[in-house]
């Protein structure tokens, strides 16, 4: 075995006497490695002659990195304390607060890293060590002993001799498992069809009173609020109707142009949805029947509604039938009418709103 140890005259891997005052510290290290089944086969100082120009240069570079770390870290703290940081509209020095923090912190950390790396890679001796893996599996005898020790534990417990104990323990533990499950099931599981919640929305008439179509701020919508070819999002005119409490209720109210309205009305009639439209106005649930995103991108020229999440497309003039993408069910239509100049819903949706589920009839 060839070794180059640069000043450490060790040529044998035999054991050495660590108490011998002649042996160097490296010899002792090597002896320790040997006892751990590690052979240091190659150990080579990067700078065998101390104090060369190259060594001093690298030392200087690393020292400079560490000093810069201090500089950047200080800069971070200084900027953190004194740089204007509060948000102001427009441009200003405050906009640079986060970038400066990131830059100073990042550079400080990077330089710590590069300094340490350079120290390890450029200055420390290079070595190749070989360690034995000990992959030989334990002998069959050892395995047998351990196996028997394990099995003997069962013997000691004597379950086979005293079966009553085992049975009674199981019988006792099963309800304990149920105790663990009960709060989870009892606390979390709810009857999903309480109040018929998956089939009703905020548009369900309250005490026979029809629900107004309202803007986001709660003011009722009049027909002249939507120009021909235009569309707005409307919400049920009830308490919190525009909030996420009624996440199934947003509706897209569209004022179709004459030709499209005729077409849409014919499609409605074919489908038994007479009088769902009011004049040239038509209203569809905004909640995509695919995954529940708002299907809100309205392409006026083609009369398509596009859901931006998964690109399902619905044809408004044909009962909002899905014509492309992953959605398989049309958008439910809200039956419209006008009372005293304001839009109201004749009833709740006649189809289920939102993503599909198993028990949807």
Partner 1 sequence: MKRRRFDLAAVPGKAAREVDDRLQVNTPLRSLLNKVFPDHWSFLLGEIALFSFVVLLLTGVYLTLFFEPSLREVTYDGSYRPLQGTHMSAAYASTLDISFDVRGGLVMRQMHHWAALLFMASIIVHMMRIFFTGAFRKPRELNWMIGYLLFWVGFLAGFTGYSIPDDGLSGTGLRIASGIILSIPVIGTWAATAAFAGEFPGEIIISRFFILHVLLIPALLVGLISAHLGLVFKQKHTQWPGPGRTNSNVVGERMFPRYALKQGGFFMIVFGVIALLGGLVQINPIWLFGPYEAGVVSAASQPDWYVMFLDGSTRLMPPWQINIPIGDGYVIPPLFWPTVVLPGLMTMIPLFYPFIEARLNRDRAIHNLLQRPRDVPGRTALGAMAVSFWLVLTLSGANDVIADKFFISLNAMTWAGRIGLIVVPPIAYYVTYRICLGLQQHDREVLAHGVETGIIRRLPSGQFVEVHQPLGRTDDHGHGELEYVGWVVPKKMNRLGALGPAIRGFFYPIEKPAEAPVSPGHPPVEPRPEREEIGSGERR
To 5 degrees, how large is the angle CA 96–CA 98–CA 104?
95
Residue 99 or 163: the one with the smaller Cβ distance to partner 1 is: 99
Q: Closest distance between partner 1 and the C-beta of residue 317, in Å?
A: 19
281 phi/psi in degrees, rounded to 5: -95, 140
Residue 62 or 261: the one with the smaller Cβ distance to partner 1 is: 62
Q: Closest distance between partner 1 and the C-beta of residue 160, in Å?
A: 32
Q: Closest distance between partner 1 and the C-beta of residue 224, in Å?
A: 22
Tokens in use for 204?
Answer: 């369900």
Question: How far, in Å, CA of 348 to CA of 274, rounded?
Answer: 15
Question: How far, in Å, CA of 300 to CA of 1, rounded?
Answer: 83
Q: Within its chain, how far is the Cα of 258 from the centroid?
A: 47
Q: List C-alpha distances in Å: 330 to 31, 259, 292, 319.
A: 79, 22, 13, 7
Q: Closest distance between partner 1 and the C-beta of residue 197, in Å?
A: 5
Question: How far, in Å, CA of 333 to CA of 345, rounded?
Answer: 10
Q: Closest distance between partner 1 and the C-beta of residue 255, in Å?
A: 18
Q: Closest distance between partner 1 and the C-beta of residue 130, in Å?
A: 5
Q: Closest distance between partner 1 and the C-beta of residue 202, in Å?
A: 11
Residue 265 or 330: the one with the smaller Cβ distance to partner 1 is: 330
Question: How far, in Å, CA of 309 to CA of 201, rounded?
Answer: 22
Residue 57 or 257: the one with the smaller Cβ distance to partner 1 is: 57
Residue 203 or 261: the one with the smaller Cβ distance to partner 1 is: 203
Residue 237 or 354: the one with the smaller Cβ distance to partner 1 is: 354
Question: How far, in Å, CA of 10 to CA of 33, rounded?
Answer: 14
Residue 75 or 159: the one with the smaller Cβ distance to partner 1 is: 75
Q: Closest distance between partner 1 and the C-beta of residue 278, in Å?
A: 21
To 5 degrees, how large is the angle CA 147–CA 153–CA 154?
100
Indicate the pairing of strand 336-339 with strand 281-285.
Answer: unpaired
Contacts for 282 with CB less than 8 Å, ≥ 6 apart:
253, 254, 256, 261, 264, 276, 316, 333, 336
List the beta bridge partners of residue 333. Answer: 284
The total of other beta-carbon atoms located within 10 Å of residue 332's CB is: 23
Residue 115 or 335: the one with the smaller Cβ distance to partner 1 is: 115
């Amino acid at each position: 075995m060839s070794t180059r140890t640069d000043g450490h005259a060790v040529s044998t891997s035999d054991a050495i006497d660590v108490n011998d005052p002649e042996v160097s510290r490296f010899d002792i290290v090597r002896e320790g490695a040997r006892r751990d089944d590690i052979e240091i086969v190659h150990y080579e100082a990067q700078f065998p002659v101390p104090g060369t120009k190259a060594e001093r240069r690298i030392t200087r570079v690393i020292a400079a990195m560490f000093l810069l770390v201090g500089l950047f870290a200080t800069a971070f703290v200084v900027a953190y304390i004194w740089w204007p940081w509060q948000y102001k509209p427009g441009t200003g020095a405050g906009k640079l607060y986060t970038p400066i923090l990131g830059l100073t912190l990042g550079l400080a950390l990077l330089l710590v890293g590069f300094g340490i790396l350079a120290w390890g890679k450029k200055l420390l001796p290079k070595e190749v060590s070989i360690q034995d893996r000990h992959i030989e599996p334990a002998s069959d005898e050892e395995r047998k002993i351990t196996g028997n020790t394990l099995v003997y534990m069962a013997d000691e417990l004597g379950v086979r001799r005293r079966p009553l104990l085992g049975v009674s323990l199981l019988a006792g533990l099963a309800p304990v498992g149920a105790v663990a499950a009960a709060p989870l099931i009892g606390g979390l599981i709810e009857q999903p069809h309480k109040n018929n919640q998956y089939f009703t929305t905020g548009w369900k008439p309250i005490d026979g009173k029809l629900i107004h179509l309202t803007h986001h701020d709660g003011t009722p919508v009049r027909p002249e609020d939507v120009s021909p070819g235009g569309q707005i999002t409307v919400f049920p005119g009830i308490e919190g109707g525009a909030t996420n409490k009624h996440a199934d209720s947003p509706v897209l109210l569209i004022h179709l142009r004459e030709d499209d309205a005729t077409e849409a009305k014919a499609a409605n009639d074919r489908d038994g949805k007479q009088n769902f439209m009011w004049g040239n106005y038509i209203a569809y649930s905004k909640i995509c029947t695919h995954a529940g995103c708002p299907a809100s991108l309205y392409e006026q020229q083609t009369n398509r509604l596009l859901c931006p999440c998964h690109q399902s497309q619905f044809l408004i003039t044909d009962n909002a039938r899905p014509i492309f993408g992953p959605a398989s069910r049309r958008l439910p239509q809200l039956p419209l009418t006008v009372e005293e100049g304001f839009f109201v819903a004749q009833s709740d949706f006649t189809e289920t709103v939102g993503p599909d589920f198993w028990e949807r009839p």
